[in-house]
Amino acid sequence: MTLHANQFAARSPLYRLQAGATLAHFGESCIVTTYGQGDESALLGHCALLDLTSLARYGLRGPAAADYLVALGYQLPQAPNQALSQADGSHVLRLSQTEYLLLGSLHDAGSKAQREESQWQASAGQYLLPRQDSHAWLVLTGTCQAEVMAKLCGVDLSPQAFAVGQVAQTSAARINVIIANLPLGEVPCLHILCDRASVHYFWGALLDAMQEFGGQPVGIDALP
């Protein structure tokens, strides 16, 4: 049976722009598996854009946030504006001395991150920052990613200046963004989190910047 985004209570704010794409169940939501534009996996290493907004994420802040996450089994970045991929495919971004952002894993459709958020226990020195409804999550892949972002962002995101594991909290296309350099397997990836209410505009700005390089949106079936 063909799935449609309006069958789900939770869906990406980009769902109207993804009409015609093939969808699959993804946790309690849905996600694009392919846009039907030929071999999308071939675009990954060059210039492609994924929408991971349906994947779970949450934040923690406070002097005890690090201890809370370590108790959950996470390895933490050593300094602010650094990120670390985990063995299970999730990612931890350290945004300040005491604030962390957890990005769920594609391997389990974000179920572990979603469960941790729902089971969060209040305690002195740390508090939860829900991010599912505040931030959208896009991933720009390929060797052209720095050139694409140079059209939208004043920060040098070239591999020489923005190494794997670095985080930039800046603006792109005149909106605030969080950018993390975290490959997916061997594929170069910039994970970009922006205001959910602005993602419709930002998606279009990215696709416009990608045109010069032949970039296109791809679904998760393109990933290794």
The sign one gets for the Cα dihedral 188, 15, 179, 161 is positive
Strand ranges inside the chain, DSSP E: 22-26, 29-34, 48-51, 57-61, 82-85, 91-94, 99-103, 127-130, 135-141, 167-172, 175-181, 189-195, 216-217
Give ∠ CA 211-18-48 in degrees, rounded to 5. 35
pLDDT band at 1 (very low <50, low <70, confident <90, very high): low
Two structure tokens written together for 131: 């991010």
Q: Which residues pair with 94 in a beta bridge?
A: 82, 100
Give CATH for domain 57-130.
3.30.70
Give domain 40-54+133-222's CATH number out of 3.40.50.300, 2.130.10.10, 3.30.70.580, 3.30.1360.120.
3.30.1360.120
Q: Where are the domains of the chain?
A: 40-54+133-222, 57-130
pLDDT at 19: 86
pLDDT at 6: 66
Strands 127-130 and 99-103: unpaired
Two structure tokens written together for 141: 């892949």
Residues 6 or more apart in contact with residue 170 via CB below 8 angstroms? 153, 154, 155, 176, 177, 179
User: CA 132 to CA 204: how far, in whole Å?
Assistant: 21
pTM of this prediction?
0.95
pLDDT at 9: 66
Q: Is the pLDDT assigned to residue 211 strictly greater than 70?
A: yes
